[in-house]
Amino acid sequence: MRHLVDRRKLGLPSDQRKALLTNLQRQFIRHGYVHTTLGRAKELQRLVEKLITLSREDSLDARRRARRVLVGHSSSSPKPVKELAGKTDFEKQQILARKSLINGEDLVKHLFDNIGPRFKTRNGGYTRLTKTGYRRGDAAATAVLELVD
């Protein structure tokens, strides 16, 4: 019996599973869709629905909780002093913007500024899961998870 079992293991150790799902969440927030295996898509759907529900209320606490999921840590990363030394202001801005794209700070802003307001009046069901057949190499069932318009 499957009593009180609420997550898929996806055949991975817990740290690798957490990293995989975090990266899939980041990709989903950035692009609005993700193409992956069916099991991963079902697990991702569960997590992304919670993130979008969180983004509907635009509060500081909600942003911090979403940042903890998408960025992975609660404190801001230190500025790379060695990289910024001797650079012009424009080059410094480019370096910091590139770092922001890497660590996911822009994803939190995109989630709360673009995705959250789109679903302000919708009570759940923000994503659509569409099966797309089987992968050629190992015949794994694949699916596309996308935002509902």
Q: Using one digit for the tens of pLDDT, what is the confidence trace for 23-36?
A: 999 999 999 999 99
Per-chain mean pLDDT for the chain: 88
Q: Three-class SS of residue 115?
A: helix
Per-residue confidence (pLDDT) for residue 73, from 0 to 100:
59
DSSP 123: -
pLDDT higher than threshold 80 for residue 80: no
Q: Which fold has domain 14-76+105-147?
A: 50s Ribosomal Protein L17; Chain: A, (3.90.1030)
pLDDT higher than threshold 70 for residue 76: no
Higher pLDDT, residue 51 or 99: 51
Distance CA 104, CA 138 (A): 32
Query: Position 42: which residue type?
Result: K
Distance CA 147, CA 149 (A): 6
Per-residue confidence (pLDDT) for residue 44, from 0 to 100:
97
Distance CA 119, CA 114 (A): 9
Contact criterion met (CB below 8 Å) for 124 and 114:
no
Q: What is the DSSP string of 61-97?
A: HHHHHHHHHHTS-SSPPPP-HHHHTT--HHHHHHHHH
pTM here?
A: 0.79
Q: Which residues have CB under 8 Å from 96's CB, separation 6+?
A: 79
Instruction: Delimit the domains of the chain by residue range.
Output: 14-76+105-147
Helix (H) or strand (E) holding 128: strand 127-134
Q: 72: pLDDT confidence band, cut at 50, 70 and 90? A: confident
Q: Provide φ and ψ at 18, rounded to 5°.
A: -65, -40
Percent of the chain with pLDDT over 70: 89
Per-residue pLDDT of 83-128, as tens digits, reads 778 888 888 877 777 665 556 778 999 999 999 999 999 999 999 9
